[in-house]
Amino acid sequence: MAQGTKDQLLLTARNLFAERGFYGVSIANIADKHGLTKQALLHHFPTKEKLYGQVLKEISEELDDLMAAARSSSDDPKTQLMSLFQGFVSDTHGEAVRTRLLMRELLDNKHRAETAGAWYLKAFLKNLVKMAKTLPGWENVPDSQALALVYQLLGAVNYYAISQPTLRGVFGAKGAKALNDCYIDQLNRVMHAAFSPPPTLMK
């Protein structure tokens, strides 16, 4: 059952880091949730940073899986991209936790030493750009233009995802629900407009 404990600690660490951030969580907090001492945690992970790094690594692999799933879901690049971005808005618990953690990482990685963590993003963005450039009319567009397209959508859905608790606090559960219905429509409308027409072609 060694692997079991380790995996459970990783999961708890992910949830807590997503909720309160790297500095807002102590290794004792994480161990406590399993009735363990922090030394037991340090037996499985040599340092707090390594533990965090492991969480980040797992998540970056999940992002790859997400990309692969989107790619195999359809032959139409437009459908692929739309289902991918819609996935971020769906309020699965796991999705929300991942998005929160990655948003924190985006805010923090400039300052924490392990810049290696930032490169999960590079691979993910590269895949996204590649996918966008299979859209009809986007084949010969410069990379930066395709990146601008996907980054804009990525920003919209990620921001919306992490805002969910606050939005519920401000507008209530009913208001948040109404917003959610509108948001998906609005997102689809904008994606439709953003994807379908090739922008001004000049290189």
Partner DNA sequence: CAAATTACCTACCAGTCGGTAAGTAAATTC
Partner DNA sequence: GAATTTACTTACCGACTGGTAGGTAATTTG
Instruction: Establish how many alpha carbons lie within 13 A of residue 181's alpha carbon, considering only the half-sphere containing its beta carbon.
Output: 5
Element (H, E) at 88: helix 77-89
Please pick, from the candidates 10, 20, 21, 48, the single residue that binds DNA as defined by CB under 7 A: 48
Does residue 7 interact with DNA by CB under 7 A?
A: no
The distance from CA 162 to its chain's CA centroid, rounded to whole angstroms, is 10
Does residue 179 interact with DNA by CB under 7 A?
A: no
Does residue 162 interact with its own copies by CB under 8 A?
A: yes
Q: What is the DSSP string of 62-123?
A: HHHHHHHHHHHH-S-HHHHHHHHHHHHHS--HHHHHHHHHHHHHHHHTTTSS-GGGGHHHHH
Please pick, from the candidates 11, 42, 63, 148, the single residue that binds its own copies as defined by CB under 8 A: 148
| CA–CA separation, 159 and 100 (whole Å) | 9
List the structure tokens of 39.
């030394």
Does residue 47 interact with DNA by CB under 7 A?
A: yes
Residue 193 interface partner, choices DNA, its own copies, none, CB cut-off 5-8 Å depending on type:
its own copies
Does residue 13 interact with its own copies by CB under 8 A?
A: no
Please pick, from the candidates 19, 43, 119, 172, the single residue that binds DNA as defined by CB under 7 A: 43
3-state secondary structure of 108: helix
Residues numbered 8-37 forming contacts with DNA, rule: CB under 7 A: 25-29, 35-37
Residue 37 interface partner, choices its own copies, DNA, none, CB cut-off 5-8 Å depending on type:
DNA
Please pick, from the candidates 40, 121, 148, 190, the single residue that binds DNA as defined by CB under 7 A: 40
